Amino acid sequence: MKFTLSKSLEILERTPTILSTMLSGLSEDWVNCNEGENTWNAKEVVAHLIICDKTNWIPRIKIMLSDNEEKSLLPIDMMAQFEMAKNNQLESLLMEFKSIRGKSISDLRKFNLQKSDFAKTAFHPRIFEVNVQQLITTWVTHDLSHLTQISRTMAKQYKNEVGAFREYFKILM
């Protein structure tokens, strides 16, 4: 599929609702499960998405669209979600994500991006030069990836319970 902002917004706008529908009201066994050492649970993923909306997507697009000659993107804190998840209930994290994502979508629309804006670039510390289009498509893919991660992590909680049916579920591999 070729990039369009409208197609990207279809996913970005739905992610908070999907997460809320998927996770609200679940027992702690579901929301705190992970796939083992150095993996994330659903609460940590939601906290990570909040942090990314606050410090990654819109702040980076602002840098790329700016007239500054020096356009370097700062790395995001890949550990901050653990403290946030530990200190907050899932329901409050889901509400905060819905709020911050709403603001992010509003900000993205306010940029009134033109075709030439999608080619504007900045320097990423690991990837080097990236453009606005790549950042937005990465944002969409990032959301979808974490939705998949949560689903996979939850499905694996019944990995041993499905018995011989396990061979029919790639998600359990």
Average pLDDT score over residue span 79-90: 97
Arithmetic mean of pLDDT over the chain: 96
Number of domains in the chain: 1
Average pLDDT score over residue span 167-172: 94
Secondary structure in 3-state letters for the chain? CCCCHHHHHHHHHHHHHHHHHHHCCCCHHHHCCCCCCCCCCHHHHHHHHHHHHHHCHHHHHHHHHCCCCCCECCCCCCCHHHHHHHCCCHHHHHHHHHHHHHHHHHHHHHCCCCHHHHHCEEEECCCEEEEHHHHHHHHHHHHHHHHHHHHHHHHHHHCCCCHHHHHHCHHHC
Q: Is it the case that residue 167 has pLDDT exceeding 90?
A: yes
User: Sorting pLDDT into bands at 50, 70 and 90, what band is 127?
Assistant: confident
Q: What is the pLDDT of residues 16-73, one digit of tens each?
A: 999 999 999 999 999 999 999 999 999 999 999 999 999 999 999 999 999 999 999 9
Domain that holds residue 99: 5-172
CATH number of the domain to which 101 belongs:
1.20.120.450
Q: Is it the case that residue 125 has pLDDT exceeding 90?
A: no
pTM: 0.95
